[in-house]
Amino acid sequence: MLKRTVEDRFGFVRVRGEISGFKRAASGHVYLGLKDENARLDAVMWRGTAQRLNFQPEDGLEVVATGKLTTYPGRSNYQMVIERMEVAGEGALLALLARNKARFEAEGLFAPERKRAIPYLPRVIGVVTSPTGAVIRDILHRLADRFPVRVLVWPVLVQGQGAAEQVAAAVRGFSALAPGGAVPRPDLVIVARGGGSIEDLWAFNEEVVVRAVADCTVPVISAVGHETDTTLCDFAADRRAPTPTAAAEMAVPVRSELLNQIAELALRKRRAVLRPLQLGRERLAARAERMPAPQALLAPQAQRLDDLSERFRRALCDRTALARGELQRVAGRLSLPLVASRVQTAQGRLDGLARLFVSLDPDKVLGRGYVRVTGPDGRTLTTRAGAAAQPSLTLHFQDGELAVGTGSAPVRAAARPKTGPAPDDGPQGKLL
């Protein structure tokens, strides 16, 4: 009866207060207190309602809660069942934002040394945004104008209940892709959303999104809101873009400008290659101008050659004249009788040598019964011992040669024929 009375009388209430004693049960229900400087009201938020919150409640946060009053017999008190809760004004949200930013900074999530360089020309870009908004169309159009690349879109909610969890899951999903897999791993991730109020952008201030962006292994560009909008996701990302279109411009260079730059570098390369050759030609021309003409270099030598030629001609004429005079002088001493006398004397000496040669010829006496003996080497043998030492002998007769063998037994000397009377053997008489 008390419960019906309270619920009928306070079926719709709207309470503004500061959260106190916030806790989330294992069942997903949320229990908290709403207080001001004078009073405190216990409140409960069932799991379904708590899941639809677009911010993370915490102690000290001023909120406006809408719901009804009811009683809880277990403790004999009354409480508020919250059906809707929102931050009480932009000032409270900014205060919560400042507290969270200070906490994340203390953890080092926004440290400059954590920032990574954006790849100069990514081949694949992952985009985390709503698939139906103008943001994705602007990004795709800008990329197509500057440098067409492959784009992977991970569709998410960018506002309201569950947006923060989807954005964080998309960032972690891109980070977890393996290189070379069925889905290509992006070289760059863009987290993008259009402009809006601080409440509309609050999903990108949630802790789950900030930590997902800070832990991403792929460089991240945050492009949330317009130029004046700032979220904690911007501080956690490697680069912040003022708008989604600007993020696309940061992601890739202009293809035409890149081609012009390559052409300019190629031209500079050709100039660099040809410059030394051109400088060499200029130096050679300058040195050639300073060098004397070839005729001037050869003129002294040519004059010296002419001088030597003239001297040689005169020397040759003088030498010829001197030789002619010497010849005439010698010829004057020569007379025909003298020459004839010398020739006759020489002829007489030659005839005497011819007769001596004939008389000394060893074969001349072969006609009188003598034999000349030679060895295998053709040398004439004059002793018995020399003939006995030869393996064979050649006997030269008047009418030819006769080869004979010596054998191993010594040859007895033949008896010399007696050509005259026997010598006187004395009183003993003859022994032979």
pLDDT tens digits, 255-282: 888 889 899 999 999 989 888 888 888 8
- Please give the full DSSP string across 394-405, using - where no structure is assigned: EEEETTEEEEEE
Report the residue count for the chain: 432
65: helix, strand or coil: strand
**Average pLDDT over the chain, rounded to an integer:** 86
Please state which of the ranges 137-141, 289-293, 332-336, 339-343 shows the lowest mean pLDDT.
332-336
Asked whether residue 144 carries a pLDDT value surpassing 60, the answer given is yes
CA distance 156 to 196: 17
Token couple for 426: 């004395």
Q: 372: buried, middle or exposed (CB in 10 Å: 19+, 13-18, 0-12)?
A: middle
With DSSP H G I counted as helix, E B as strand and the rest as coil, what are the percentages for the chain, rounded to 5? 45, 20, 35
Tokens 């197509």 sit at which residue?
144
Query: Residue 45's CB: how many other CB atoms inside 10 A?
Result: 26
CA distance 202 to 159: 8
Please name each of the domains of the chain with its CATH number.
2-87 (2.40.50.140), 114-253 (3.40.50.10550), 364-403 (no CATH)
- Please give the full DSSP string across 300-335, using - where no structure is assigned: HHHHHHHHHHHHHHHHHHHHHHHHHHHHHHHHHH--
Strands 239-240 and 372-374: unpaired
CA distance 51 to 166: 13
Q: Name the DSSP letter for residue 380.
A: B
Query: How confident is the model over 194-213, as pLDDT tens digits?
Result: 988 887 888 999 999 999 99
Give the distance from CA 53 to its chain's centroid. 57
CB 30 within 8 A of CB 44: yes
* Residue of higher predicted confidence among 377 and 60: 377
Please state which of the ranges 18-22, 53-57, 85-89, 422-426 shows the lowest mean pLDDT.
422-426
Rg (alpha carbons) of the chain, rounded to whole number: 67
Query: How confident is the model over 24-54, as pLDDT tens digits?
Result: 999 989 999 999 888 999 999 999 888 888 7
Q: Name the DSSP letter for residue 114.
A: G
* Residue of higher predicted confidence among 68 and 229: 68
Q: Which residue from 229, 198, 218 is spatially nearest to 87, judged by alpha carbons?
A: 198
Q: Name the DSSP letter for residue 125.
A: E
